[in-house]
Amino acid sequence: MIHKVSQPSKIHFSHLLAIGECVNLIFNEKYLADRALEYVLKEDKRRGTKDRAFIAEHVYTLVRHWRLLRHCAQLPHQDTQAHFSDGEIWRTMAVLLNWEGYSVQQFRETAEAAHYPLPTESDLEAMPLALRYSLPDWLFEYLKTELSIEQLKNELWAQTQQAPLFVRANTLKTTALELKKYFTELNIPCSLVGESYPDALRIHSRTNIMATGAFKNGFFEVQDLSSQTVAPLLSPQPHERVLDACAGAGGKTLHLAAIMQNTGKIIALDTESKRLKELERRMLRGGIENVEIRTIDSSKTIKRLEGSMDAVLLDVPCSGLGVLRRNPDAKWRLTPNRIQDLKNTQSQILRDLHKTLKPHGRLLYATCSILPSENAIQVKTFLDQNPQFELVAESQLFTQADSGDGFYKALLQKI
């Protein structure tokens, strides 16, 4: 279940300090995992690419398998709202390193973990699923109410695997084939994904592709395979007016713009201006010229758009239960009340934003969740309450270990 290193390279105490500091920030200070890593790695800019990758990979692996590793470290199961001591963090980290094949006896803080017995495959098989796949008990029980046990087992196993890396070629500047040639020349192994994903490439190494000239010049964006199916389903046409109502940092906004060949107009909305600033930077890098950015600062922002849009994308806030392998810290932050609040927000967004469509306009509802209550049930409720809409297409994707994330999308049309 946890990747084991066959020939471990040398580990430095500075690595362990950085990993431990990140885990402390995530669990005790409630940092998002990527923010914790960014903060810690900035403290020592002398670290090389391999050191940074080692630290990042082990932070995410620790968070992903936190409950199982604590169990192996002979520590009691605790609610993640509890405070974890430095000793507990070091002990849990040491078990992971021992599992991977690193020598943990060389450091006083980790030496004890060498004597903890590691579970065999049969031990893992016998464990309760919530422990084996490191889920809070309440979340496992919650998932059981909405998914079959077979769906749940497959999903939980896939969520413990390292997520593959996909990029989307920016067709305003290049093609997937040209991008493949570029990476090949840099000795970065990659492959075209296939006809269903014409702009997608899979990167087969953990090289820092963000440091390449192709990234700095906007020739590609990192985007999961499932996410790359969203904009094409909405099928925005050149010269249409399109609304991306929950744009965030704009991954799907940029895809819409490329499909529209920089024509027409896309209005990108979000409540967080900081995320929209990131979209501005990405637009500049990618040569995007047909997007207007607006921060939602009052209900008037949406009201001014009523009846004016040919197509609307609602990539709504959700539990993120389809992307736990990329954001494993999310499962430790979620609560039942938080999920219910998100469902209420989703319903409200559907109620408010469908009014922005023209007659015969298209609405695409999307989440990165695997819960029917956030997905198909939300859409059915909306259709029952709004008979002027019909369902055109619907798809629920579950996490695929060697492919895309868990994702849901439903295309509706205003009759």
Q: How confident is the model at residue 76 (pLDDT cuts 50, 70, 90)?
A: confident
Q: Is the pLDDT of residue 4 over 70?
A: no
Q: Residue 401's pLDDT is what? A: 83
Residues 333 and 27: their CA atoms lie apart, in Å, by: 9
Q: Residue 103's pLDDT is what? A: 76
Contact 167, 227 (CB under 8 A): no
Fold exhibited by the domain 164-223: Alpha-Beta Plaits (3.30.70)
Q: Compute the Cα dihedral for 126, 132, 137, 141 and give only its sign.
A: negative
DSSP for 195-250, please give it: TTEEEEEEE-S---GGGSHHHHTTSEEE--TTGGGHHHHH-PPTT-EEEETT-TT-
Residues 110 and 91: their CA atoms lie apart, in Å, by: 6
Two tokens, residue 43: 């403290």
Positions annotated as catalytic residues are 368
Q: Residue 77's pLDDT is what? A: 79
pLDDT in tens, 316-355: 999 999 999 999 999 999 999 999 999 999 999 999 999 9
Cβ-based neighbour number of residue 32 at 10 Å: 14
Determine the average pLDDT of the residues in 33-59.
87
129, amino acid identity: L
Orientation angle between helical segments 49-64 and 33-43, nearest 10 degrees = 150
pLDDT in tens, 357-405: 999 999 999 999 999 999 999 999 999 999 999 999 999 999 988 899 9
* Tokens 């390279």 found at: 9
Three-class SS state of 269: strand
Q: For the chain, count helices (H), then strands (E).
A: 18, 11
pLDDT in tens, 77-95: 776 666 888 889 988 998 8
Q: Is the pLDDT of residue 7 over 50?
A: no
Residues 182 and 111: their CA atoms lie apart, in Å, by: 46
pLDDT in tens, 95-111: 898 888 887 777 777 77
Contact 413, 392 (CB under 8 A): yes
Determine the average pLDDT of the residues in 225-248.
96
Range 163-166, long-range pairs (CB < 8 A, 24+ positions): 163/224, 163/325, 163/326, 163/405, 164/202, 164/225, 164/402, 164/403, 165/202, 165/203, 165/206, 165/209, 165/222, 166/193, 166/200, 166/201, 166/202, 166/203, 166/222, 166/223, 166/224, 166/225, 166/228, 166/404
pLDDT in tens, 183-210: 999 999 999 998 889 999 999 988 889 9
CATH superfamily of domain region 225-414: Vaccinia Virus protein VP39 (3.40.50.150)
pLDDT in tens, 30-40: 999 999 999 99
Q: Is the pLDDT of residue 135 over 90?
A: yes
Domain boundaries, the chain: 13-134, 164-223, 225-414
Q: Which residue has the higher pLDDT, 5 or 39?
A: 39
Residues 304 and 171: their CA atoms lie apart, in Å, by: 32
Contact 204, 191 (CB under 8 A): yes
